[in-house]
Amino acid sequence: MKAVHFGAGNIGRGFIGALLSQSNYETIFVDVNAELIDELNDKGAYRVELAGTDDSIEVTNVSGLNSLEDEEKVIEAIAEAEVITTAVGPNVLPMIAPVLAKGLLEKNSNGIVIACENMVGGTEILKNHVIENLDEEQKEWISDRISFPNAAVDRIVPNQNQKDPLTVMVEPYYEWVVETSSINSELPDIKGITYVDDLTPYIERKLFTVNTGHAVAAYLGKYNGYLTIKESLDDSNIKNKIQGALSESGGVLIEKYGFNPDEHQDYIDTIISRFENPDLSDEVTRVGRGPVRKLGPKDRLVRPALEFIRLKKEEPAHLAEVIAAALDYKNEEDPEAVELQDLIREKGKISAFCEIAELEKDHPLVQSVEKYLV
C-alpha cells in the first residue's frame, strides 16, 4: 500500500506519517524543504519521541519528493497512492491543489484525500481548490472516483530543536476522526483513525476546547508577559480563566450536541493537563500566531462566543476578555500580528475587531469585548 503525504514538517512526520507507517503504508512525503526531503531519501526512516515518556516509535519505509523540483514524480506518486493526506496549514492548501489535481486525474483506481489541518472543513476546502483547476468533464471524473472526507485531528507537537532534523517529539495523546458520509470506496485501514457518520460534533469539540484553550493560554500569557504556554498555566489566574472560557464553549457543545456534562468536563481537564506537560510547552508567540485568522467569525474565539450568546442568552465574559487580549497581541515576526496592529492604528480596536469578526458595532459580543479593552 502506498500513501502520499503533503507536508514533511513536525506534524506531518510526528502524527500522520507515523500512523501511516504503523499501518504498513509506504509513505512519500511531499514538501518544499529540500533538507528534509534529502534526509528522508538518505535515511528512509526517522524516530518519533513520545513526550513525558521514554518511549519512541521508529517510522520506516518513507521517502520524499520536492514539489518545486519533482512535479512529475509527485504526480506519478499521487496516481499510484491509495491514500493522500495533508498537514501543510490552511494557507498552503490552494498552493498544492494544482499538482494534486494533476495527480488525481492520472489515477486508474479510486482514491481518498484527507486534509489533516487545524481547521473546520479542511478537506472540503481542499477539494474546492482542486476543482478550480478542472474542466467540467474532469470534475465529474474526480467526483466519481475520489473521496474527500473531512477530518478532525488533535495532537500537540511542540516547537523543538533536535540534533537529527528528522527526529520529532509529539505527545502520546492523539485523535484522528474521519467522516464516512462522503467516502464512496472501501475505508482505509489506518491505525488510529476513528470513523464517524457525522464529524461536526468532534470538529467543534476539538475547536472549542483544544484550540480555544490554547488560544486563551497564548493571548493571556503574552498579555501578562509570559513566554511559554507552561508559564501561562502556572499562573493560577490564567488557568482559572482558561477553565472559564472552556466552560463557556463547553456549554455550547453540551447544548448543541448533547455531550454528557461530566464527561465533557473530564475532556476539558484532560486538555488542560496536556497543556501543563513541561515536555509539550510551546512559546506563546507560536501558539498565538495568525491572530487575524483566529479572530475570524468561524474560528476558535469568536465562533464559540457568538454561539454562547445565541444559545445561552448570556455574556461570554471569559471569551470576551481573551478576544480583547488577542487584539493587543504584538509580534513583529508574525505578519498577521503586524497586519492586526496596522489595522488597529488605522481604525481603532473596536472597528478593527468588527471588520475581522464581521460584526456590527452594536452586537452584544462587541459590547462585551469593549469592556475589557485597555
9 a known binding residue?
A: yes
331 shares a domain with 234: yes
183 shares a domain with 43: yes
The secondary structure of the chain in percent helix, strand, coil, rounded to multiples of 5, reads 55, 15, 30
**What pairs with residue 4 in β-bridges?**
28, 84
pTM above 0.75, yes or no: yes
328 shares a domain with 210: yes
Q: What is the pLDDT of residue 291?
A: 98
The helix (H) or strand (E) run that includes residue 50 is: strand 45-50
209 shares a domain with 305: yes
206 shares a domain with 104: no
From the list 196, 299, 208, 283, the residue with the least C-alpha distance to 246 is 208
Which of 198, 232, 257 marks a domain boundary? 198
CATH number assigned to the domain comprising residue 225: 1.10.1040.10
Q: What is the pLDDT of residue 238?
A: 98
11 a known binding residue?
A: yes
44 a known binding residue?
A: no
128 a known binding residue?
A: no
271 shares a domain with 142: no
Burial call 135-167: b when 16+ CB within 10 Å, e when fewer: eeeeeeebeebbbbbbbbbbbbbbebeeeeebb
Cα 250-255-258 angle, rounded to 5 deg: 95
244 a known binding residue?
A: no
Q: What is the pLDDT of residue 203?
A: 83
278 shares a domain with 153: no
Grid cell 488557568 is found at 239
354 shares a domain with 207: yes
51 a known binding residue?
A: no
18 a known binding residue?
A: no
192 a known binding residue?
A: no
Q: Which amino acid is at 103?
A: G
Q: What is the pLDDT of residue 362?
A: 97
User: 226 to each of 156, 159, 177, 231, 345, how far by Cα in Å?
Assistant: 20, 16, 33, 6, 25
Which of 157, 178, 198 marks a domain boundary? 198
Which of 198, 216, 240 marks a domain boundary? 198
The helix (H) or strand (E) run that includes residue 261 is: helix 261-276
How far is 86 from 93, CA to CA, in rounded Å? 8
How far is 209 from 268, CA to CA, in rounded Å? 7
C-alpha cell at 139: 470534475
How far is 73 from 104, CA to CA, in rounded Å? 13
Q: Domain range for residue 184?
A: 2-198
Secondary structure letter of residue 187 according to DSSP: P
151 shares a domain with 208: no
What are the two backbone dihedrals, phi and then psi, of residue 70, each rounded to the nearest 5 degrees?
-125, 45
237 shares a domain with 137: no
345 a known binding residue?
A: no
193 shares a domain with 211: no
5 a known binding residue?
A: yes
In tens digits, what is the pLDDT along the chain, a chain of 374 residues?
999 999 999 999 999 999 999 999 999 999 999 999 999 999 999 999 999 889 999 999 999 999 999 999 999 999 999 999 999 999 999 999 999 999 999 998 899 999 999 887 899 999 999 999 999 999 999 999 999 999 999 998 877 888 999 999 999 999 999 999 989 889 999 999 999 999 989 888 989 999 999 999 999 999 999 999 999 999 999 999 999 999 999 999 999 999 999 999 999 999 999 999 888 878 999 999 999 999 999 999 999 999 999 999 999 999 999 999 999 999 999 999 999 999 999 999 999 999 999 999 999 999 999 999 97
From the list 40, 20, 21, 42, the residue with the least C-alpha distance to 30 is 40
C-alpha cell at 189: 485501514
249 shares a domain with 145: no
Count up the domains in the chain and report the number: 2
